[in-house]
Amino acid sequence: MLYFDYAASTPPYPDVIRTIGEVMNRHYANASSIHGYGEDAERLLKRSREVCAKTLGVKTSEIVFTSGATESNNMAIKGTAFRYRSRGKHIVTTKTEHASVYESIRFLEQMGYDITYVPVDSEGQVKCEDVLEAVGKDTILVSLMHVNNETGAIHPIMNIGQQLKKVYPKVIFHVDGVQAFGKIKLELQQSGIDLYSLSAHKIRGPKGAGLLYVRSGLELTPLMSGGSQEGGLRAGTENVPIIAAMTKAIRLAEEQRSELCARLVPLRDRLIEEIGRHPEWELNSSSKGAPHIVHFSYPGMKAEVILHTLEQLGIIVSTQSACSSKYTEPSRVLLAMGKSEEIARSGIRISLGDTHNDEHIDQLIHALQQMKKRLVSFEGWNR
């Protein structure tokens, strides 16, 4: 079997797995305990925070460890909305955000917040001027993803952040960096970003680990009540083994970013070229997008049928994002890009990682061709 679902999750590095076991064995004490065992765990936590901060180019006090990007996004969006509601109740976002952003904002909408969904173009990108135009005197938050998890579309985050801060320095800018980190360089400090979410399992780290960068000076209302861990923002005993393992993955992802992109771009472009050879298929991503995601639709075929046919041929891909793939609804992301419902129901996402090479793409292309033959003959027989 060949696994092409890296945007959903990745195989952890052997060193990540080793670290979890070692730290669980050696540093099982509570990092908040004041005895020596606790202090050892706390030291490791401190060291992890330092490495994460250095890798992201921010201060250690600006790193909040979470259970993953779903939590980071909830913390960033609801925490901002609750803390700054006396300033205004207007939030700017798009309809193509990940469910953890989209649903957090919908929750706020039901609570009376006023939301502007900035349109995306047919490639899934927002325009900087449209974002700025949507911001008004009541706006407290702009929340955008850097790379779309379904199509790989890239928002011009640096430009948006810089322009936003020039005109509206008080508006808080949150970026979901989950699919971009380790692939696309972003200087947080120079991009006007106040809040930045990361997830470890998309970069060969463990599941259940993430972080939120919170620019110093910014206050968030904590979503959980309890202890004073993570600067009071995230009550609960820190999961030191998972945090230490995530730190390894974050450091490796950043160190290997350029090399990884140089390897993935030609593989992605070969796939894009192949999809272009099938006139009945619709390409929903482009070579201007992220290096690891290729998305296409096969109108008239159900996405699950395509997925299972490919699985029988030894290839693992996904339909929509993993968080929405059990819904039978058409993809909200594709609909927002102006695609038809038929296209939005028949989308297949292929996502690549550092373990892939040209031979794997040969096998994938062969399987795609076989899949089409099988589905066409099945359709003919069915008629």
The reply on whether position 274 binds ligand PMP by CB under 6 A is no
Query: Helix, strand or coil for residue 139?
Result: strand
Q: Is 261 annotated as catalytic?
A: no
333 part of the interface to ligand PMP, by CB under 6 A: no
Piece of the chain touching ligand PMP by CB under 6 A; list 43-51, 273-281, 316-324, 341-349:
316-324
Quick one: which segment of 19-27, 74-82, 87-95, 321-329 binds ligand PMP (CB under 6 A)?
321-329
Q: Exactly one of 89, 98, 263, 339 binds ligand PMP (CB under 6 A); which one? A: 98
Near ligand PMP by CB under 6 A: residue from 94, 125, 139, 149:
149
48 touches ligand PMP by CB under 6 A:
no
User: 3 has which bridge partners?
Assistant: 316
Query: Residue from 104, 125, 143, 321 that binds ligand PMP (CB under 6 A)?
Result: 321
Using CB atoms within 10 A of its CB, is residue 33 exposed (0-12), middle (13-18) or buried (19+)? middle
145 makes contact with ligand PMP (CB under 6 A) = yes
User: Could you tell me the smallest distance in angstroms from the CB atom of residue 103 to ligand PMP?
Assistant: 11
Cβ proximity to ligand PMP, 143 vs 149, nearer residue: 149
Nearer to ligand PMP, 193 or 368 (CB): 193
Near ligand PMP by CB under 6 A, which window of 12-20, 49-57, 173-181, 331-339? 173-181
Residue 169, both tokens: 């320095």
Does residue 68 belong to the site contacting ligand PMP (CB under 6 A)? yes
Do residues 232 and 219 make contact, with C-beta atoms less than 8 angstroms apart?
no
Among 322, 335, 365, 375, binds ligand PMP (CB under 6 A): 322
Residue 10 amino acid letter: T
Residues 91, 92, 98, 102, CA torsion sign:
positive
Site for ligand PMP in 99-118 (CB under 6 A): 100
CB 262 within 8 A of CB 278: no
Q: Shortest gap between Cβ of 69 and ligand PMP (angstroms)?
A: 3
| Parallel, antiparallel or unpaired: strands 282-283 and 293-297 | antiparallel
**Ramachandran category for residue 155: left, alpha or beta (phi over 0 → left; psi -120 to 50 → alpha):** beta
**Backbone angle region of 158, left / alpha / beta, with phi > 0 → left and psi within -120 to 50 → alpha:** alpha
Pairing status of strand 172-176 against strand 293-297: unpaired
176 binds ligand PMP (CB under 6 A): yes
E-strand stretches of the chain: 2-3, 63-66, 90-93, 114-117, 139-145, 172-176, 195-199, 210-214, 282-283, 293-297, 315-316, 347-351
Structure tokens at 301: 């075929």
- With 0-12 / 13-18 / 19 or more C-beta atoms within 10 angstroms meaning exposed / middle / buried, residue 168 is middle
Identity of the residue, 69 or 275, whose beta carbon is nearer to ligand PMP in the bound complex: 69
Q: Which stretch binds ligand PMP (CB under 6 A): 15-23, 68-76, 214-222, 292-300?
A: 68-76
Q: CA-CA distance, 350 to 119, in Å (whole number)? A: 25
Binding ligand PMP by CB under 6 A: which of 128, 141, 178, 371?
A: 178
Among 10, 125, 199, 239, binds ligand PMP (CB under 6 A): 199
Q: Select from 69, 172, 267, 310 the one that contacts ligand PMP (CB under 6 A).
A: 69
Under the rule (CB under 6 A), what is the footprint of ligand PMP? 68-70, 73, 98, 100, 145, 149, 176, 178-179, 199, 210, 321-323
Q: Which residues are catalytic?
A: 323
